Amino acid sequence: MTAPSKALWAAELPRALWMHANRWRHRAALAAAPRGDGRRVLLLPGLFNGDRSMARMAAFLSRTGYRAESWGLGRNMGVRTVGAEAERLIARVEGLAADGPVTLIGASLGGIMARLVAHERPDLVREVITIASPYAGSGHATNVWRAFELASGERLDDPAVLARSTRIAAPLPVPATAIWSRNDGLVQGLICRDDHCRAIEVSSSHMGVQRNPAVMLAVAKVLAGAG
Domain of residue 136 covers 6-223
Report if residue 19 sits inside a domain.
yes
Report if residue 55 sits inside a domain.
yes
Residue-averaged pLDDT of the chain? 95
Query: Using 50, 70 and 90 to split pLDDT, how confident is the model at 47?
Result: very high
Mean pLDDT score, 21-37: 91
Judged on CB neighbours under 10 Å (0-12, 13-18, 19+), 11 is middle
At residue 226, the pLDDT reads 54
- Number of domains into which the chain is organized: 1
At residue 216, the pLDDT reads 97
At residue 24, the pLDDT reads 83
At residue 51, the pLDDT reads 97
Q: In whole angstroms, what separates CA 227 from the centre of its chain?
A: 17
pLDDT tens across 6-17, in order? 999 899 999 999
Report if residue 1 sits inside a domain.
no
At residue 52, the pLDDT reads 96
At residue 20, the pLDDT reads 87
At residue 84, the pLDDT reads 87
Q: Is the per-residue pLDDT at 195 higher than 70?
A: yes
At residue 224, the pLDDT reads 94
Report if residue 131 sits inside a domain.
yes
Mean pLDDT score, 166-174: 97
Mean pLDDT score, 183-198: 96
Mean pLDDT score, 32-49: 96
- Give the CATH number of the domain where residue 43 resides: 3.40.50.1820
Read off the pTM. 0.96
